[in-house]
Amino acid sequence: MAISRRTLAHILTTHHLQARYDGFTALDDVTLTVPPGHITAIIGPNGAGKTTLFHCLAGTHRPAHGQVLLGTRDITRLPAHARTRLGIARTFQQLAVFPSLTVADNVRVGAEQGRVRDPAAVERALRLLGLDGPLRSMPAADLPTGTLRRVELARALAGSPRVLLLDEPAAGLDTAEVTALARVLKALAADGTALLVVEHDLDLVADLADTVHVMAAGRIVASGPPDRVLDVAGSQETPV
């Protein structure tokens, strides 16, 4: 099937990324595609390069070599805030909400920083994440981890992103919260958002992902659908 010009413009890709820290190679020739309407997962042991790759995509680390493209536009040298304006939103492994702000005000920050400044997007994000009731007026400092994860995701969505980067979104969530998270992420992909998920929960990855990339020693060592790739990872006893 032919790819439309509009769809092509929303594809996030990397080409031959390399990154080094004090002589240590953190990324070694990493090429991948994060297409719209698709959930792409990255797994691998600690030190595999997952976090460095995430930062290169988000704009918080610049690779030594290679390119990051959004459609045909080279965004390798663009900082994070400029990528946000282009429609690349992210969540954080360590929660990064504003504790003194209410839930609704935290989400409004995302709308101000995002690709589209649409007040209605704030309300849509609050409804989608179940934050539109009394919770909307509560300070973030008073909320448990699971609710704060929803606040952070709603903030990312309030800017109407084309690409959503999620760094361990299930960290600290209970089983019911993980199930609810999976439902939301699948709905976002069905609406055409490109999602990249770095995640330790392999059950969630198996349920969510269309494509899984396994990283080790800075390289992608296996790629494919989760039923095939996770079996290989499990047979190698790869910690993630």
pTM metric for this prediction:
0.90
| DSSP code string of the chain | -PPPHHHHHT-EEEEEEEEEETTEEEEEEEEEEE-TTEEEEEE--TTSSHHHHHHHHHTSS--SEEEEEETTEE-TT--HHHHHHHTEEE--SS----TTSBHHHHHHHHHHHSS---HHHHHHHHHHTT-SSGGGGSBGGGS-HHHHHHHHHHHHHTT--SEEEEESTTTT--HHHHHHHHHHHHHHHHTT-EEEEE-S-HHHHHHH-SEEEEEETTEEEEEE-HHHHHHHHHHTT---
CATH number of 1-11+18-27+34-87+162-240: 3.40.50.300
Give 49-108 pLDDT, tens digit per residue.
Answer: 999 999 999 999 999 999 999 999 999 999 999 999 999 999 988 788 999 999 999 999
Average pLDDT over residues 199-222: 96
> In the predicted model, what is the mean pLDDT of the chain?
90
Q: What residue ranges of the chain are covered by domains with CATH 3.40.50.300?
A: 1-11+18-27+34-87+162-240
pLDDT grade for 120, boundaries at 50, 70 and 90 = confident
Q: What are the residues whose beta carbons fall under 8 Å from the beta carbon of 94, sequence distance 6 or more? A: none
Give 154-180 pLDDT, tens digit per residue.
Answer: 999 999 999 999 999 999 899 999 999
Could you give the percent of the chain with pLDDT greater than 70? 91
Please say whether the beta carbons of 17 and 56 come within 8 A.
yes
As given in the structure block, the two tokens for residue 31 are 């090429």
